[in-house]
Amino acid sequence: MNKERAAERIKKLSAEIEQHNHTYYLLDAPSISDFEFDKLLEELIQLEKEFPELISSNSPSQRVGGAITKEFKSVKHKYPMLSLSNSYSTEDLLDFDRKVQEGLGLKANDLFSTSPVNYVCELKFDGLSIGLTYKDGELQQAVTRGDGVQGDEVSTNVKTIKSIPLKLKGNYPPEFEIRGEIFLPRNVFDAINKEREEIGDAPLANPRNAASGTMKMQDSAVVASRKLDCFLYHVLGEALPFQNHFESLEAAKSWGFKISKDSRLFSNIQEVLAFIEHWDKERFNLPYDTDGVVIKVNDYQQQRQLGFTAKSPRWAIAYKFKAEQVSTELLSISYQVGRTGAITPVANLQPVALGGTTVKRASLHNADIIEKLDVRVGDMVYVEKGGEIIPKIIGVDLSKRKEGTEPTQYITHCPECGTELRRLESEANHYCPNEMACPPQVKGKMEHFVARKAMNIDSLGAETIEQLVNAGLVKNIADFYDLKKEHLLPLERMAEKSANNLIEGLEASKQVPFERVLYAIGIRHVGETTAKKIAKKVKSLEVLMQATREDLLEIDEVGEIIAVSIHDYFVDEKNKTIIQKLKDAGLQFELSEEQQQGASDKLNGLTFVISGVFAKYSRDQLKELIELHGGKNSSSISKKTSFVLAGENMGPEKLKKAQSAGVKLISEDDFILMIGA
């Protein structure tokens, strides 16, 4: 395919993919299957690899992520991002309505009468405020709220959010800003925390903090994996063709923005109060968190007349829902053992109604939380749901504490196998080190190994694993590959077809790629994303097993805790035996030829620092090429740096440092000659 035809195909694919994104993420009406969508995206990415000069900064391929942002540039807001005044009662809202009427020179109306002032009510989303600037229908910049005057530019990360359009449709203004809230849906938050607990990491506190932290991650591929979402709710610009706020929201929806379907226009304050009362109960049925309702004067002329205080607009107010909180008795504290041995203390409560559900248990997270709250069995404790998914204990009613209660002593031995617990200085959790014989760990590792994102052996469920363990047929994950049909048929509810499916599933798993095998073996702290990064870097398990802690720390996503965990895993003789059995069974312990094609050792022993903007490749593609040909990437210049790969607009500080360190600068073309591309 020549360049002209490639440009036409890229344009067509981009438009088609963005339309499918729109129907899926905004209209909730997918028009093609996930498989068909992935094929379109794969074709686009392949064409952009072949013709890198045709890549647009707003191509749908950018939603996959991969670019690294070491520093987030501070940007001054064109329009200050003011905060809203908060209200917590009906009286506050009635007072707001009175002040609005007075500010407009109107006589206060009866609550139920139609007013010259119309209000728009919007759910107040609990996430991260963002301002998006569009020019000629394309996303130009995304900036966080910051201190209201200036925030951080996070454009690269925002492009991974599929509900945010990269290109607009319809009759949009030539330039404008639209503001909204980036949030983490509850089901995604739950899935992230489940994986974190499985690998022994502390769970994320709540979706709001998780969304905020995700948006400041350096690796946009990790941001993409978090599946953030975004509602937009405020259009700003010069000479916009709208008379009121609600009209601007309807227009923004037609341009391709995700506008909440629950926003409403009302003609008096009584209707506003009814809206709030409705959502105070219904908010718990939403798939995302909301902590209140924002009330805005609809008419722009009236907004201008009302104006602003030093901190907030006089034409808008936020009503905050009260965090639902109840008091109940703590009956006992039990301790759960995860597959990595991490211990989670759980408060068992006298059942109590909270947020539309009956709560019987609440997480206590770790020993530090128990000590900080001084929570004791028999206490009346305050339980809150608020913005949290899982109920949490926030305090103790000391006035009702019974005489003679003793401070809670955190367990010292595993509740399942009796092994003495350990706690590393760098970790919040205690854990059981008896990973080869502690029943929940043994079964948990097996269930993790066969899971969909790991080896994907769906014929091996939790019940079957329980049977195999109880029958003494398997003691670790490698034993699965010793199973024969004659071993399985005597098991209860195991017919010939089920046995065949299980054996076939095990055989098929031998084709699962290396990065998923690495995730499946269950090294503590090594999640799905980290396993991919490691596999891409080391290319084979043999190299990984020989890596020092220092080598491991050179890999993206690998910090001290993960490096120690990987090193300790592979020095354990029992783990070495399991790995050897899996290798003998035929599992994939190195990247495939296809994954390694084009690789060489031309850059072996060389360390590169990349700075600036390039014409033929993105920075991320250059980093991949360096690693593919045996080189190393570094973020900072030192005497160990071999070359600085310098593009346009190279940072002056890096240039100065390279010159003082005597490091040679090479161009993009020089680099291409080095690798023979």
The pLDDT assigned to 330 comes to: 95
Instruction: Say if residue 387's pLDDT is above 70.
Output: no
Q: List the single range of 31-35, 79-83, 263-267, 651-655 with lowest mean pLDDT.
A: 31-35
Look-up: residue for tokens 């690269």? Answer: 156
Top mean-pLDDT range of 208-222, 262-276, 279-293, 582-596? 262-276
Rounded percentage of the chain residues whose pLDDT exceeds 90? 49
Average pLDDT, the chain: 88
Q: Residue 632: what pLDDT? A: 82
Q: What confidence score (pLDDT) does residue 17 get?
A: 87
Choose the most confident range, by mean pLDDT, from 309-318, 412-421, 608-617.
Answer: 412-421
Domains and CATH numbers, the chain: 3-64 (1.10.287.610), 86-273+284-320 (3.30.470.30), 323-419 (2.40.50.140), 439-511 (1.10.150.20), 514-596 (1.10.150.20), 607-675 (3.40.50.10190)
Of 41-50, 262-271, 569-578, the one with minimum mean pLDDT is 41-50
Q: At 377, which amino acid appears?
A: V
Phi/psi zone of residue 637: left (φ > 0), alpha (ψ -120 to 50 degrees), beta? Answer: beta
Q: In the structure, what pLDDT confidence band is assigned to residue 200 with cuts at 50, 70 and 90?
A: low
Catalytic: 124?
yes
Residues 6 or more apart from 366 whose CB is under 8 A from it? 202, 344, 345, 428, 429, 430
DSSP H stretches of helix in 541-636: 541-546, 549-553, 560-571, 573-585, 593-596, 619-628
- Which band of pLDDT confidence, cut at 50, 70 and 90, is reported for residue 254? very high
pLDDT of residue 567: 92
Q: Which of 424, 660, 633 is nearest to 533 (CA)?
A: 633
Residue 425 has pLDDT above 80, yes or no: no
Q: How far is CA 282 from CA 180, 292, 529, in A?
A: 22, 12, 35
Closest CA to 174 of 134, 203, 214, 204: 134
- Residues 49, 107, 124, 632: which is the catalytic one? 124
Q: What is the pLDDT of residue 623?
A: 81
- Asked if residue 67 has pLDDT above 70, the reply is no
- What CA–CA distance (Å, rounded) separates 294 from 123? 6
Residues 615, 567: Cα–Cα separation, whole Å: 40
Residue 559 has what pLDDT?
A: 83
- Is residue 388 over pLDDT 60? no
Query: Looking at residue 20, what is its pLDDT?
Result: 84
How much is the pLDDT for 594? 59
pLDDT at 334 over 90: yes
**Would the CA dihedral through 209, 215, 218, 222 be positive or negative?**
positive
The predicted-structure confidence for 471-523, as pLDDT tens digits, reads as follows: 999 999 999 999 999 999 999 888 899 999 999 999 999 999 998 999 999 99
Phi, psi of 658, rounded to the nearest 5 degrees: -65, -40
Instruction: Report d(CA 148, CA 548) in Å as an integer.
Output: 46
Query: Residue 617 — pLDDT band, cuts 50, 70, 90?
Result: confident
pLDDT reading at 664 higher than 70? yes
* Mean pLDDT of the region 564-581: 94
pLDDT of residue 1: 81
pLDDT value, residue 256: 94
User: Looking at the predicted structure, is the pLDDT value of residue 141 above 80?
Assistant: yes
Instruction: Give the span between the Cα atoms of 570 and 628, in whole angstroms.
Output: 25
Contact between 636 and 609 under an 8 Å Cβ cutoff? The reply is yes
Q: Minimal CA–CA distance to 186: which of 157, 227, 154? A: 227
**pLDDT for res 467:** 92
What per-residue confidence (pLDDT) applies to 38?
76
Look up tokens 């049925």; give the residue. 285
Average pLDDT over residues 411-419: 96
CB-CB contact of 423 with 429 (8 Å) = yes
pLDDT band at 262 (very low <50, low <70, confident <90, very high): very high
Instruction: Report the DSSP beta bridge partners of residue 293.
Output: 123, 319
Band of pLDDT at residue 380, cut at 50, 70 and 90: very high
How far, in Å, CA of 235 to CA of 392, rounded? 37
What's the DSSP call for residue 99?
H
Task: Measure the CA–CA gap between 256 and 230, rounded to whole angstroms.
Answer: 12
Q: What is the pLDDT of residue 244?
A: 96
Q: Which percentage of the chain shows pLDDT scores above 70?
A: 94
Residues 6+ apart with CB under 8 A from 436: 442, 475, 476, 574
The per-residue pLDDT for range 92-127, each reduced to its tens digit, is 999 999 999 999 988 766 656 666 899 999 999 988
Supply the pLDDT for residue 637: 85
Q: Is the pLDDT of residue 524 over 90?
A: no
Say whether pLDDT at 68 is over 70. Answer: no
pTM recorded for the entire structure? 0.58
What's the average model confidence in pLDDT over 77-93?
89
DSSP string covering 279-305, please?
HHHHGGGSSS-EEEEEEEE-BHHHHHH
Calpha distance 231→182 (Å, rounded): 7
pLDDT greater than 90 at residue 549? no
Of the listed ranges 60-69, 352-361, 607-616, 668-677, the one predicted with least confidence: 60-69
Q: Looking at residue 420, what is its pLDDT?
A: 96
- Residue 116 contacts residue 106 (beta carbons within 8 Å): yes
pLDDT at 625 exceeding the cut of 60: yes
CA distances from 348 to 335, 337, 363 (A): 10, 16, 9
Greatest pairwise CA separation for the chain in angstroms:
89
Neighbours of 620 (CB within 10 A): 17
Non-local CB neighbours of 470 within 8 Å, separated by 6+ positions:
none
Local confidence band at 63 (pLDDT 50, 70, 90 cut-offs):
confident
Cross-strand bridge partners of residue 182: 128, 230
Q: How confident is residue 241, by pLDDT bands cut at 50, 70 and 90?
A: very high
